[in-house]
Structure 1
Amino acid sequence: MKHNPFLKEIHKNLIVSCQALEDEPLHGSDIMAKMAQAAKEGGAKAIRSNSSSDVAAIKKQTGLPVIGLVKRDYQDSEVYITPTLKEVKELLAVKPEMIALDATKRVRPGGEQLIDLVRYIHDESETLVIGDIATLQDAEYAMKCGIDLLSTTLSGYTNDSPKLSGPDFGLVEQLLKISTIPVIAEGRIQTPEDAHKMLELGAWSIVVGGAITRPQLITKTFVNGIQQH
């Protein structure tokens, strides 16, 4: 599986997450496609994108491989990254190279099961499945469900994971000791030094989002820094 062309392309390289939710200033597939083009021109080898419309627009604009997901809230579950088969089908229709699923042990909407979503994707397409996890226990569960790659996306965003101000280097180290599949480092990676350290630990590749593609957060960092001095 590590000889997959997509995996070769992203190995030891940067993936940029281009996402803007409905309440954010840059929301819109046309805007995200331009953001992704800017990331491509800066050297990004792939894009992580939210919603089938954004995935389609980014693939058309950039020609880069895309990790697709759909963020959707359900009243009966905390899981919101591609929670159900409905979101999986939306993504398969636009053919991303990879689909990201919440792969924590939390209960999915309607009692749907991670293993069933993974099987469906594998049965219906050649799309790889990345499991967004928060803990070592999540990773073990995700691997049993047949996930192709792990990503530390949800570390710090679940009740059972540590709330850190920076990247979860410790989780990446732990995962690399037990994982039989590639591990992608994602979450609060703010600087090139953070990214380089993750690669030195053995991460397959790096995903950076807010530090590159959310100007309101970047601006806020500067404003806070100025006010502190």
Structure 2
Amino acid sequence: MPTDFLNLIKLLRYGLIVSCQAPVDSPLHEPRVIAAIAQAAVNNGAVGVRIDTLNHIIAVREKVQVPIIGLWKQLITGYDVYITPQFHHAAAIAKAGADIIAIDATIRNRPGDETLADIIARIHQELGKPVMADVDTIEAAKAAANTGADIVGTTLYGYTAATKHLSPPGWELLTQIVQQLDIPVICEGGISSPQMARKALDLGAYAVVVGTAITGIDLQVKAYKSALNAE
């Protein structure tokens, strides 16, 4: 791994990365609002932020200096892969200001004729950016590591056909990656308390991503309302 990649990734070690995202139909899905949320997170100790969509990345880049893990969710007919599915999506978010490119690295059919190895290689060579591979299984994690991913994240555990019967956080997957692979692993998904974040580090996570529990006002309010209205 190039020295500049190592130095960038080291900034995340043992830290909290806050995923600042909102549903597209939410008033929070506004670049200035997302940027304010990201700035508040950084002001209070977040070592990095995870941001979706070009306009949001551009707005956040103007407000924070910490590493931005950028992604671009794209729904492509006939394919389940949706987190930065193709190289041109990666190139666009790199131009917008992302420091690390997050991509779907599950073992599923990808749109176009690009393989996972092709995309990772081009992100390294043409964009000069490290790659965070979002995976769902240990097999996907191994494949991502073997094709050059710089970081593996447990992001998609519980969200694919292979893991839909499982609920995040993926403690077992995290443990498997830590034990079997020599690559930084970020625990993402289902972390809903500071104690759970601490557990992730204790299990060997390099860093922890928290989203909904911190920034998901829409989902949090719906959950409270549902509980209060329960028979």
Q: Distance in 2 between matches of 1:53 and 1:163?
A: 34
Q: Distance in 1 between matches of 2:230 and 2:199?
A: 27
Q: Quote the residue 1:71 is aligned against.
A: 73
Do residues 59 (structure 1) and 93 (structure 2) align? Answer: no
Do residues 175 (structure 1) and 164 (structure 2) align? Answer: no
| Residues 74-125 of structure 1: CA deviation (Å, up to 9, x unaligned) | 0121100000122012112123110000000101112321111101111113
Q: Distance in 2 between matches of 1:7 and 1:64?
A: 11
Q: Quote the residue 1:22 is aligned against.
A: 24
- Of the structure 1 ranges 102-111 and 161-170, higher mean CA displacement relative to structure 2 is found in 161-170
Q: Quote the residue 2:223 is aligned against.
A: 221
- Identify which of 176, 190, 196 aligns with 1:194: 196
Q: Quote the residue 1:142 is aligned against.
A: 144
Q: Equivalent residue of 1:172, what SS?
A: helix
1:15, CA displacement in angstroms? 0.1
Do residues 117 (structure 1) and 119 (structure 2) align? Answer: yes
- Of the structure 1 ranges 178-187 and 54-63, higher mean CA displacement relative to structure 2 is found in 54-63
Aligned counterparts, 1:92-107, within 5 A: 92-107=94-109
1:23, CA displacement in angstroms? 2.2
Q: Equivalent residue of 1:31, what SS?
A: helix
Q: Quote the residue 1:131 is aligned against.
A: 133
- Of the structure 1 ranges 74-83 and 121-130, higher mean CA displacement relative to structure 2 is found in 121-130
Q: Quote the residue 1:38 is aligned against.
A: 40
Q: Equivalent residue of 1:93, what SS?
A: helix
Q: Distance in 2 between matches of 1:204 and 1:182?
A: 6
1:163, CA displacement in angstroms? 3.2
Q: Percent same amino acid among aligned pairs? A: 38
1:166, CA displacement in angstroms? 4.2
Q: Quote the residue 2:92 is aligned against.
A: 90
Q: Distance in 2 between matches of 1:226 and 1:36?
A: 30
How many pairs does the alignment contain? 229
Q: Equivalent residue of 1:10, what SS?
A: coil
Contact 1:133 1:152 in 2 (8 A): yes
Letter in 2 for 1:226: L
| Residues 121-168 of structure 1: CA deviation (Å, up to 9, x unaligned) | 111133110000000111111112111110000000001115344411
Contact 2:106 2:135 in 1 (8 A): yes
Q: Distance in 1 between matches of 2:213 and 2:201?
A: 18
Q: Distance in 1 between matches of 2:167 and 2:111?
A: 29
- Identify which of 48, 51, 54 aligns with 1:49: 51
Contact 2:87 2:123 in 1 (8 A): no
- Of the structure 1 ranges 49-58 and 88-97, higher mean CA displacement relative to structure 2 is found in 88-97
So what's the TM-score if we normalise by structure 2?
0.93
